[in-house]
Amino acid sequence: MHPALSLLILVAVAVAVNLPLGYLRQNYEKFTFGWYFYVHISIPLIIYMRIKSGFGWKIIPLTLGGAVVGQILGGIIHKRRNSNG
C-alpha cells in the first residue's frame, strides 16, 4: 500500500475513534477523571497502529491532530443533539 494512503487511513481512524469519545467526554466536567479518560484512552491504539503501519515519530502531530479533530467534532455533535430547540 502506498505510504500516503496508509497515513491518510491512520489519520482517518484517529478521527473516527475519537468521535464517540469526544461525544462521551461532554458528559463530564472539564478536568475530571472521566474527562481525562475519554481524552486519552485512544492514544495507545493510535500508537499501536502507527508502529504497525511502519511510521516513525515524525507523523505524531498528524495523528494527534486527527484525534483532536475527532474529539472536537464529537463534542459538537453532542452539543447539537442535546441543545434545547
Chain segment 32-73, per-residue pLDDT in tens: 999 999 999 999 999 999 999 999 999 999 999 999 999 999
Tell me the average pLDDT of the chain.
Answer: 95
CB atoms within 10 A of CB 67: 24
53 found inside a domain: yes
57 found inside a domain: yes
- Output the pLDDT for position 85: 56
Look up the domain containing 41 and give its range: 3-80
- Output the pLDDT for position 10: 97
85 found inside a domain: no
**Helix pair angle (33-40, 3-25), 10° resolution:** 160
Structural domains of the chain, count: 1
- What confidence tier does 1 reach under pLDDT thresholds 50, 70, 90? confident
36 found inside a domain: yes
Instruction: Give the predicted TM-score (pTM) of the model.
Output: 0.91
